[in-house]
Structure 1
Amino acid sequence: MLVEIALLTGAGYWYQQRQQKNNLAQLLTHDELPTRQASSMSMRPFSVRQLLNDIKGAMEANGRQQLQVDIDPRILESIEKERLKANRRMGLAIVAALLALLGGIYPVFSIFGALGVLYLSRRMFVRTWKDFKVKHYLSANLVGLAMTMGMLASGQLVLAAFAGVMGSFFAKIIDKVEGGAQRQLINTFVEHPQQVWVLTDGVEIQLDFNAVQVDDVVVVNAGEVIPVDGTIQSGEASIDQHILTGESRPVEAATGDKVFASTLLLSGRINIRVTTAGKTTFAAKIGQLLNYTQSYKDTLITRGRKISDRFIPFTVGLSAVTLPLLGLNSATAVLWSGTGAAMGILGPVSALVYSQILAHHGILIKDGRALESLRQVNTIIFDKTGTLTLEQPTVATIHSFGEHSADTVLTYAAAAEYRQSHPIAKAILDKASEQRLELPESDEASYQVGYGIKVMVNGQVIRVGSSRFLQQQDICLPENIESIQRQAETNSHSLIYVSIDRHLAGILEMQPTIRPEAASVIRYLKQRGFKLAIISGDYEEPTRRMAETLGIENYFSETLPQHKAGLVKQLREEGDFVCFIGDGINDAIALKSAQLSISLKGASTAAIDTAEIIFMDGTLQHLELLFRFMDEFEDTMEKNFITSIVPGILSIGGIYFLHFGVAAAMGLTYLGCFTGLGHSLLPLVKYQEAICPPVPDKPSYFNTPDASR
């Protein structure tokens, strides 16, 4: 039986290597850049083979594999070295197993087989010695070494060699999953076509991607990935930006709108004036960030490895008791039962899988430990400005003076700000649109950054801006506005002054706009039982009013940025596990003080953001989604725990009551590991369409260069 298993394993490994070579040859000989294909998750009869193909496809994201990717060369070199080492270990393990099998016929080969097993175990010797040096005496390395020595001492050389084969094979699979998931996570943000079309003197010329420069005009057609950041010079398009923002609905873009690299043009045709290209685009910076953040393979260990280590004293102790009772073979089999040991592998793999899925939903996990921390959170603190409020304010009140009505003041203010794009201008224009006001033409605009704007409307000079701006223009402000100014300051409202010719016509009182999604998100969090709080630098009255509006019981007002961290630390000292949600840059100290931090600054600042989790669309909408995925992750971890515990319990029971040996214990252990691994990878299949979404097929004329260009 063991001979057949060993031969089957070797044949499987040979077939896998052959398939990899065939896939590579197929990739190199393919002429066209393919579009991503629709998910294969439509209704169909259940098939184990199809399920395995789905998992493989989700892991490798085949729909994207022919796009050129910029990954740090040092990381590629490291990945390649690890792959070669894994292949060498696998080859040596197979040779050692064959020598052990031949030893049953020619005893001399047993010596070489044993030497091969010992050589493969040399890393465990080194790691065990390192564990001893730091006084970590009961470690997984020690257990692995004891298992190998126990099998050799009891004359089970073939099993020891077979364990080396299976160990190498399993390690190779895990490395592929971990490395592939991290590469795919990075590739998500840095993919681009190898060739791009650039408009030069009215003629479209195909250039290498790396040859594109700032101010070039790049032409992009439906079904193509946008290769650069830039502004649309001409054309209209529907763009899928979910890769950066997680937003499922396409964005309609036209002349003057900004577009970003790695997003997908669903329909239309646009000419893009390049502002950034190559490694300076938003998407590339995020990819570089993921290259250099703490290694996922190291930081995702936490709970899985802790659970695994927790069972080691029990396993070693039971093996020690079994040795005098049932002998060396049974004692070694107990070590092989490895109750809970698989969690050391399944925990990191599950976290990697969900980190990858979250990234494709617009939630960037910068530190793999964030998923572990999320389940412990019981207190969530929101920074008020920019987190619970939008950047664009709302016109709350219009104060008019003299013979001018509120509509007149708003009409002239909107006419003056008509061509401006800053948040206050948009707020004024939205209010005018809401009231359906007809705006007169304006000309001779003169804009002073930070102060205001002066325009001519119907022969009158209109000034819109701050009180300082009007005073600089020698416009007298009446004394009776002081009460308005005091009340606005108390409410943390800003005032925009409007003058007609030399007289103050009115004041627009602007209030912060609560995010439209904030109320529903707060309700969801309260249903989950979180303790919520608002922290703000504003006065108490506006902070209290916002807390009451959203149904948040706790708030801290008039808090300077440097004092926010102190409040977070105070809550931690009281036993709370704090998640801080705020501005990833301005609130850096408070973000670092919390056990978990989330930023809403979006893709543009991801590389310098200090938060562990970033919502790429810059809104609170993903907060509910984040916790729902956390629930799924927890469910996966619980099932992984079961698959790591049950085989060990069955194995120990079999050893004591059914005379199980090492072979049976090994079989149950590997069965549990592979079952858990399959369960850990199933979310990739479930969310495969989100990871590799379908796109429209290219029109037929794309295959005809003369017609398309």
Structure 2
Amino acid sequence: MLIGFVPLFIGGATGYWLVKKFVKTPSRQPARPLSITQLLKDLKGAMVADERQQLQVDIDPRVLESIENARKKSSQRLKLTVGATGLALLGSVYPAFYVLGTVSVLYLSRHIFIRLQKDFKLKHYLSTNSVGLVLTVDMLASGHLVLAAFAGAMGSFFVKIIDRVEGNAQQQLITTFMEHPEFVWVLKDGVEIQLNCNDVQINDIVIVHAGEVIPVDGTIQSGVASIDQHILTGESQPIEKSVGDQVFASTLLLSGRINILVKTTGKAVVAAKIGQVLQYTQSYKDTLITRGREISDRFIPVTVGASIITLPLLGHNSATAVLWSAPGTTMGLLGPVSVLIYSQILARQGILIKDGRTLESLRQVNTIVFDKTGTLTLEQPTVAKIHSFEDYSSSTVLKYAATAEYRQAHPLAKAILAKAEEEHLELSELTEASYQVGYGIKVTVDEQLIRVGSSRFLQSEGIKFPESIGSIQQQAESDNASLIYVSLDQQLAGILEIQPTIRPEAKSVIQYLKQRGFKLVIISGDHKEPTRRMAETLDIEHYFAETLPENKATLVKEMRKKGDFVCFIGDGINDAIALKSAQLSISLKGASTVATDTAQIIFMDGTLTQLEDLFRFTDEFEDTMKRNLTTSIVPSVISIGGIYFLHFGIATAMGLTYLGGLAGLGNLLLPLVKHTKQKSNH
């Protein structure tokens, strides 16, 4: 039996030599020395996914409790595993403990039974797990209790690693799909009273103020407001709404005060209906197994066939040893560990990989679909044009508008102020200001009255519009631009045309993706003309506009049916179904909770820049996986040859298998060394 542990010793020495060799390799740039202790610490961190978990907590503090609970359970399982291993060892020495030892081995192998059950549900009957079960039972029946215990403990460890790859995110699917306050104000018999949001009934009158999220679907009974609906509908510009207009839960009231006649509440609102569809939309990853396991399973029929042939030729022990020598068998471990290591490396780059199988699937992506508003554009729009009238210059119009909006916090005001700062305009001191909710603002500067707001606001104030603005309004409506009117005393001074701001990194990222050969698509809930213009500006050939949330998912599914492997990038509630329907999904930190809960990858810097890093590391990950396969196949070939020509037994076959695993782990230390060095250099 001792001969079986010789390869383990050799493998350990080989792994240590690899680490020492690469750690000591001098770099061309001076760097702090990397210690074995630090390397092992990084390896442990990758295995327990500590940096990934920290990113999860940064996005959603709710997961902290579930992470702590998982750690406690893991600690308890470790103690039980040690106890069960001890009983198995006693059973091999004292026959009186053999039954307890057998029970302990079955306990250590329990994860294999659970995995096997999942395989059967997927109609995946001949797998590494089924062979593992056969080997465990066979070794128990033939009296190899110690080897069975060792295999059970190692198998349990491997399964935990795979579980971390497939479910480390502690992902919490949204149940309410609504971000609303616990309490809302409701008008009852002319009196405003505070109610729990869940107690609001149809036909109640809910009062919503500027800066609040609308908690219900309904129609405006009184008041005027500017509402940001992009998170739900994908419309890029705030919408001005008044009596009789429909409003939706989860949208944001930017300015004004409105009374809403409630039409739907709770699970019946549009946002919640999206949530219900999402619950029943099967995620692509639900049917995936890790690529390492997939590779291992491909060799199983050949290995089983070789074992069956060996049985009459060399006997039972040799046939069992052949099963232990399955080519590629250690890929079931090396694949998931590779994923964990690269997930750790990516986490340090600010890229959160929730599900490890996502990293394995990135190489298959050939189509990238972008949501437009909030993904390709920034939250804050831009002053695109300034139309001036009479003798006023563009700078004067902008200065008046910025002076009036100086203390306002909504996106349009921020766009005006940013433009004024860009042009280095000095703003005048306000002497008097009043804000008319939902319409605009009036300020007095140097005894002159400035009005800034919507056309409705200025017309209600008696400001006359020249006929020439008709073409400006028509073009703005076509472009889906917002118009802000500026008057001085009783005369229209000018109009600011405000349009969405394309992310500064968008063009370079799109160019990089096109160079890699990806098919690029925009799917937006926004109007056709601004979507077309966005696609033209970014040189994206394919686009779909005015698309409802469920239709976004339909388009994604149609692409998949045509053979495309789709990665969807979005940020809103309206993107959630499409995010889950795509094979791969990405969102940005700061996006809606629904999007970040549903997406498999999160860019923590809130930009698209990290797409380049993601695919660059994917290339490196693929090279590592190819080397893993080599270290997995070579020991198996040696082992099977040794069984036939040198009469290797079960212990030696096991040892060679684990030797391949150790060599593979040595290979996996290389990227960890490389990127830990880079981190220390910075």
State the TM-score, normalized to the length of structure 1. 0.67
Matched, 1:398 2:390: no
Kept after mapping to 2: 8 A contact 1:93/1:164:
yes
Instruction: Please name the residue that 1:707 is paired with.
Output: none
Instruction: Please name the residue that 1:634 is paired with.
Output: 622
Matched, 1:376 2:364: yes
Q: 1:406 to 1:576 in 2, by over 3 A?
A: same
Cα deviation for residue 445 of structure 1 reads 1.9
Most deviating of 616-625 and 141-150? 141-150
**Equivalent position to 1:660, from 623, 645, 648:** 648
**Equivalent position to 1:481, from 461, 465, 469:** 469
Matched, 1:321 2:314: no
Q: 1:301 to 1:448 in 2, by over 3 A?
A: farther
Matched, 1:442 2:427: no
Matched, 1:566 2:558: no
Cα deviation for residue 378 of structure 1 reads 0.8
Cα deviation for residue 547 of structure 1 reads 2.3
**Equivalent position to 1:358, from 330, 342, 346:** 346
CA distance in 1, matches of 2:345, 2:335: 16
CA distance in 2, matches of 1:300, 1:94: 36
Unpaired runs of 5+ residues, structure 2, are: 13-28, 171-281
CA distance in 1, matches of 2:295, 2:302: 12
Kept after mapping to 1: 8 A contact 2:52/2:353:
no
Kept after mapping to 2: 8 A contact 1:643/1:676:
yes
Cα deviation for residue 367 of structure 1 reads 3.7
SS at match of 2:623: helix
Residues 470-619 of structure 1: matches in 2 within 5 Å?
Answer: 470-600=458-588, 602=590, 605=593, 609-619=597-607
Matched, 1:387 2:391: no
Instruction: Please name the residue that 1:254 is paired with.
Output: none
**Equivalent position to 2:105, from 120, 125, 146:** 120
SS at match of 1:121: helix
Instruction: Please name the residue that 2:85 is paired with.
Output: 93
SS at match of 1:386: coil
Most deviating of 424-433 and 328-337? 424-433
SS at match of 2:386: strand
Matched, 1:305 2:293: yes
Kept after mapping to 2: 8 A contact 1:304/1:348:
yes
**Equivalent position to 2:455, from 467, 482, 485:** 467
SS at match of 2:634: helix
Cα deviation for residue 438 of structure 1 reads 2.5
Cα deviation for residue 689 of structure 1 reads 8.2
Cα deviation for residue 174 of structure 1 reads 6.8
Instruction: Please name the residue that 1:168 is paired with.
Output: 153
Most deviating of 561-570 and 411-420? 561-570
Cα deviation for residue 539 of structure 1 reads 4.7
SS at match of 1:333: helix
Q: 1:328 to 1:541 in 2, by over 3 A?
A: same
Kept after mapping to 1: 8 A contact 2:362/2:618:
yes
Cα deviation for residue 444 of structure 1 reads 1.7
State the TM-score, normalized to the length of structure 2. 0.69
Instruction: Please name the residue that 1:238 is paired with.
Output: none
SS at match of 2:540: coil
Matched, 1:344 2:332: yes
The amino acid across from 1:433 in the alignment is E
Cα deviation for residue 553 of structure 1 reads 1.9
Q: 1:561 to 1:690 in 2, by over 3 A?
A: farther
CA distance in 2, matches of 1:59, 1:137: 29
Cα deviation for residue 634 of structure 1 reads 2.5
SS at match of 1:385: coil
Cα deviation for residue 333 of structure 1 reads 0.9
CA distance in 2, matches of 1:519, 1:65: 32
CA distance in 1, matches of 2:595, 2:548: 25
Kept after mapping to 1: 8 A contact 2:115/2:129:
yes
The amino acid across from 1:656 in the alignment is Y
Cα deviation for residue 659 of structure 1 reads 2.6
Q: 1:126 to 1:175 in 2, by over 3 A?
A: closer
CA distance in 2, matches of 1:78, 1:432: 52
CA distance in 2, matches of 1:127, 1:540: 50
Higher relative contact order (CA 8 A, sep 6+): 2
Instruction: Please name the residue that 1:424 is paired with.
Output: 412
Instruction: Please name the residue that 2:243 is paired with.
Output: none
CA distance in 2, matches of 1:600, 1:485: 34
CA distance in 1, matches of 2:338, 2:119: 30
Kept after mapping to 2: 8 A contact 1:584/1:598:
no
Cα deviation for residue 565 of structure 1 reads 2.8
SS at match of 1:497: strand
Kept after mapping to 2: 8 A contact 1:355/1:364:
yes
Question: Deviations for 1:611-650, whole angstroms, at most 9, x for unmatched residues?
Answer: 2222233221111122222223333333333332222122
Kept after mapping to 2: 8 A contact 1:370/1:612:
yes
Q: 1:597 to 1:175 in 2, by over 3 A?
A: closer
Kept after mapping to 2: 8 A contact 1:536/1:556:
yes
Cα deviation for residue 485 of structure 1 reads 0.5
Task: Kindly tell me the number of residue pairs found equivalent between the two proteins.
Answer: 544
The amino acid across from 1:417 in the alignment is E
Unpaired runs of 5+ residues, structure 1, are: 13-40, 103-108, 187-293, 695-709
The amino acid across from 2:303 in the alignment is T
The amino acid across from 2:299 in the alignment is F
Kept after mapping to 1: 8 A contact 2:165/2:336:
no
Cα deviation for residue 439 of structure 1 reads 2.0
Matched, 1:84 2:76: yes
Q: 1:339 to 1:86 in 2, by over 3 A?
A: farther
Instruction: Please name the residue that 2:262 is paired with.
Output: none
The amino acid across from 2:459 in the alignment is Q
SS at match of 2:297: helix
Kept after mapping to 1: 8 A contact 2:430/2:445:
yes
CA distance in 2, matches of 1:173, 1:692: 30
Please provide the CA RMSD for this pair.
Answer: 4.2
